[in-house]
Amino acid sequence: MDDLLHVDLKDVRPATAETDVLVIGFGAAGTCAAHAAREAGAEVIAIERSAGAGGAAALAEGIIYLGGGTPVQQACGFDDSVENMTAYLMAACGPEPDEAKVAAYANGSLDHFDWLVARGVEFDARLDIETQMAPRDTHGLVWSGGENAWPFSEMATPAPRGHLAKTKNSTGWLLMKILAEACEAIGVETVYDTRVTALVVDGDRVVGVVASSYGEERVYLARRGVVLTAGGFIWNDDMLRRHAPTLLRGTWKVGTEADDGRAIEMAQSVGARVKNMHVGEVSLPIIPPRDLIQGIIVNGHGQRFINEDTYMGRVGQAALYDQDATCFLVVDEAAYQPNWMGLTATWVCETVGELESEMGLPAGSLEATVDLYNRHAATHDDPMFHKAPDWVRPLIPPLGAFDLRPGVAPYAPFTLGGLETSVAGEVIGLGGEAIPGLFAAGRTTAGICSFGYASGLSIGDSTMFGRFAGHSAAGA
């Protein structure tokens, strides 16, 4: 039975356990779904295939994208509003992001902040301007989506929205510890080391799951609903090949081996729709230090293709999807430092001509790019890609170039496509109807982003829409 993605209730063995709501996967979305279902009065069992809670979020930096004027934003001196956050998200998460989810996300952001705080998440209300990722101290706020860079800086009032739980270094682990403990405190039952392999259906309704634990097959039944919060499919190369081959070139998969897409396919086997399956976020974490932004990023033809001061996830997507995963960062002596990962310049030359030759770029290509850049940079102008004036000044040889191709630099992808769900977390079927008894959230689903991304949106939409899905399942 191990190869089946769903089985009929009449064909399964007696249930190991029966409850109101089953939550499959106990990461960012799963902990929040379980919590919300339990709070809504349901008996909840959360089934997790690894030995502990946390999922991919526990390995991440733990940024949560929140705005609309959170206490942390206010304490750091930033005005924000639901409308302003919505304007940014509609521009940055497209093309054509899920408008209903964007609206719900922006509208629910302040409430979600309070919800997290009430469960024990603390935020140190200080902004770290140096990074788009985890600060090196306990700072609770970062610019995590290029809000203050073109074109978003012209489409919404810039405000940083990357919130981090108060701890040094990687904070995803702390966030997930708090969320998992909050579940325990209210009586969510957890089952670890148990891998769900199939849905159980009764007619057109999903009523449970088949799971495997240390070789033993188990059946769990749900009186009200099953919530799939089992991650994406970045760890499944066959699925990537079929749906998102571009991401196969990523060198540093963001996720765990549990991100194998099985939950997506289980849902598909009972008629679920998928959406945006080709899309992945691809971080190319060049900075800190921010000073490197004074350089220019060029492709394999020696051409610039993006404003260097934008979010590094946008640079990574552009490089991998549009530039054949070939790019370089060219800096002069005044801006040069090894970056936070210890990456250093692969080539250093006295002239631009020598540098382009050493780099193997077409003759004259980098010279033409630097000439044009410098001509405008003399007046802090960048008419080509609109880098902010503060970062724009002529590059003065000698120049160095970082090799930012896969294998040298890390391309860190994870999948953004998955099941189509309503704001309430219902899984939508091929015919457009909600599938009875089935709910989902997190990277098992297509979230608010159709392509564009900002750091913190994955844990952000996983936790918020996880809550909604859990609540819906409890009421089903």
Which residues bind to a copy of itself, rule: CB under 8 A? 3-5, 95-96, 241-245, 248, 265, 268-269, 271, 273-278, 301, 303-305, 321-323, 362-365, 368-369, 371-372, 375-376, 383-385, 420, 430-431, 433, 450-451
Q: State which residue, 24 or 127, has the beta carbon closest to a copy of itself.
A: 24
Burial string for 272-291 (b: 16+ CB within 10 Å, else e) reads bbbbbbbbbbbbbbbbbebb
Give CA separation, 372 vs 296, 310, 376, 473, in Å.
Answer: 12, 20, 7, 58
CB of 335 to a copy of itself, least distance (A): 23
Quick one: DSSP state of residue 83?
Answer: H
Nearest distance, CB of residue 3 and a copy of itself, angstroms? 5
C-alpha to C-alpha distance for 86 and 80, rounded to whole angstroms: 10
Smallest separation, CB 344 to a copy of itself (Å): 28
Query: What DSSP string runs through 344-394?
Result: --SEEESSHHHHHHHHTPPTTHHHHHHHHHHHHHTTT--TTT---GGG---
Residue 190 C-beta: closest distance to a copy of itself, Å: 29
Q: Is 57 in contact with 459 (CB distance < 8 Å)?
A: yes
Closest CB to a copy of itself among residues 157, 269: 269
Which residue lies nearer to a copy of itself by CB, 303 or 339? 303
Q: Which of residues 217 and 291 has its CB atom nearest to a copy of itself in the complex?
A: 217
CB of 151 vs a copy of itself, minimal distance in Å: 12
Q: Name the minimum Å distance from CB 368 to a copy of itself.
A: 5
**E strand residue ranges, 75-161:** 124-128, 139-142
Q: What does residue 257 show for φ and ψ, rounded to 5 degrees?
A: -65, -10
In the complex, least distance from residue 109 CB atom to a copy of itself, rounded to whole angstroms: 25
User: Are 125 and 135 contacting, i.e. CB atoms less than 8 angstroms apart?
Assistant: no
Radius of gyration in angstroms for the set of CA atoms belonging to the chain, rounded to a whole number: 23
Point out which residues pair with 200 in neighbouring strands: 7, 208
- Shortest Cβ distance from residue 227 to a copy of itself (Å)? 21
Q: How many helices (H) and strands (E) does the chain have?
A: 12, 21
Q: Encoding tokens for residue 7?
A: 């089985």
CB nearer a copy of itself, residue 245 or residue 338 = 245
The span from the CA of 339 to the CA of 357, in Å, is: 24
